[in-house]
Amino acid sequence: MGALDYALLGLLARRPLSGWEILKRFNRSIVFFWNAKRTQIYAELRRLERLGLVSSRLVVQGPRPNKRHYAITAAGRTALRAWLDRPTPAQPIKDEMLLRTFFADLLPSPRVASYLRRHGEEHRRVLGEFETIRAALEARHGPLEATGDRALAFGYLVLEQGIRFERMYAEWCRWAAEAAERRPARTGRAAADVDTPDFIMTT
Amino acid sequence: MGALDYALLGLLARRPLSGWEILKRFNRSIVFFWNAKRTQIYAELRRLERLGLVSSRLVVQGPRPNKRHYAITAAGRTALRAWLDRPTPAQPIKDEMLLRTFFADLLPSPRVASYLRRHGEEHRRVLGEFETIRAALEARHGPLEATGDRALAFGYLVLEQGIRFERMYAEWCRWAAEAAERRPARTGRAAADVDTPDFIMTT
DNA sequence: TAGCTCATGTAAGCGGTTACATGATTGC
DNA sequence: GCAATCATGTAACCGCTTACATGAGCTA
């Protein structure tokens, strides 16, 4: 059972939904912190039904395409609670930007600085979007720190993490680009003479 | 060609290495920002050889196990440079902690606060490790901002990102735990009455 | 004698992406 | 007329993890 399964159970714990509705809701919040594609979501729903964690019934609706209505079962609720109550295992990081930067000595410094800046702009753009969303939520529901809606309150915590993450990343990009610019374009040393930096201190 | 392939090419661009040596170096720096397992690394090395991006020769060494020495080819260098020069695609986020927090309204608030605190401690622990590494690097190589070693300079940029990330995450955990604590243990409303928060503003 | 280092592999399977496929209704 | 919405699926493939397999030499 991957995390996506619990995301789907979580949505269905709030109310029964069709696959299509799940997809829509997923893409309006969860996808920002847990990415998944349509085909996988449909496949997982069927798997969850095989496992008895959700039930479904087919809704025939005349001319429009049939849809499948899903609801969480008692077993599904139990599984979801158990997952929520388990400690989250530390997640290994995969960040392609950092990988590139790590090997950036193979590229001239101005190039590195420029892609760091471009990447930083992208993070600032997303940051702006998140801040717009927060403002819109506050306009609609009042101060988020004091909302009585528990689901919204936790949604706000998650949104705030996104904001902090994007801000941190954008600031790092700017700082790193400046550092790359201050550096001579290329030393005389060949790349082959340079050793891979070692982050583990054996002493 | 996934990002791991370029990580391996990057290591081999510095100097020829055996699979085992690659593994050691990988786990001393790259693994902190690009996770991969031993078996995958060995498999990718063989694949890179099939693609002509690296070459290998078997080194028989008497009683000890044979090893395979890898070196990057001209084609490999070209591929690596091309990758470094391409813009990094925005990477979709997958953060299980945020997923749990998003659905935390299904759990009593004190439980949520306590797991946020535990998670925060973990991030503070990693933060401490990273800061120790930075201190040790400075002790060994002098001020990192001014080092003449280009590879080390970029390694430092990446390490600094790790430090900022962990600090940001730890601070968010503390803030979120406090927010969860300020909240009543449970409203009378059933979970089914609560709607999923929506981060997309259609207006 | 137990566990670590060196040193490499195979094979099953899962999680996830991409491309292909269908087709009516609604709004610009 | 064209795109978007509604609504679901199949199939090939890839990236990655896990378990299994081997075996010598060294050190606490």
Q: Is A105 on the interface with B (CB under 8 A)?
A: yes
What whole-number distance in Å separates Cα of residue B48 and Cα of residue A121? 34
Q: Is A88 on the interface with B (CB under 8 A)?
A: yes
Residue A136 burial by Cβ neighbours in a 10 Å radius (0-12, 13-18, 19+): middle
Rg (CA), chain A: 23
A-interface mutation test, from B21, B40, B99, most A Cβ less than 10 A away:
B99
- What's residue A203's pLDDT? 31
Torsion of CA B192, B193, B197, B202, to 10 degrees: 120
The DSSP line for A140-194 is HHS-GGG-S-HHHHHHHHHHHHHHHHHHHHHHHHHHHHHHHHTS-S--SS-GGGS
The pTM (predicted TM-score) of the whole model is 0.93
A29 contact residues in B (CB cutoff 8 A):
102, 196-200
Cross-strand pairs, B94: A34
Strands A17-18 and B67-72: unpaired
Summarize pLDDT for A165-193 with one digit per residue, the tens. 999 999 999 999 999 998 876 554 444 45
Summarize pLDDT for B106-144 with one digit per residue, the tens. 999 899 999 999 999 999 999 999 999 999 999 999 999
Q: Which helix (H) or strand (E) holds A52?
A: none
- Interchain proximity B118–A87, CB inside 8 Å: yes
Q: Which residue's structure tokens are 């969303």? A: A133
Among the ranges given (A171-180, B58-67, B175-184), the one the predictor scored with the smallest mean pLDDT = B58-67
Q: Are B54 and B76 in contact (CB under 8 A)?
A: yes
Please tell me whether any atom of strand C lies within 7 Å of the Cβ of B20: yes
Which of A5-36 are b and which e, b meaning 16 or more Cβ less than 10 Å from the residue's Cβ? bbbbbbbbbbbbbbbeebbebbebbbbbbbeb
Is the pLDDT at B52 greater than 80? The verdict is yes
- What's residue A194's pLDDT? 60
What whole-number distance in Å separates Cα of residue A110 and Cα of residue A177? 9
- What's residue A134's pLDDT? 95
Strands A67-72 and B17-18: unpaired
Q: Is A74 on the interface with B (CB under 8 A)?
A: no
What whole-number distance in Å separates Cα of residue A149 and Cα of residue B23? 49
- What's residue B37's pLDDT? 97
B118 contact residues in A (CB cutoff 8 A):
87
What is the CB neighbour count within 10 angstroms for residue A107?
A: 18
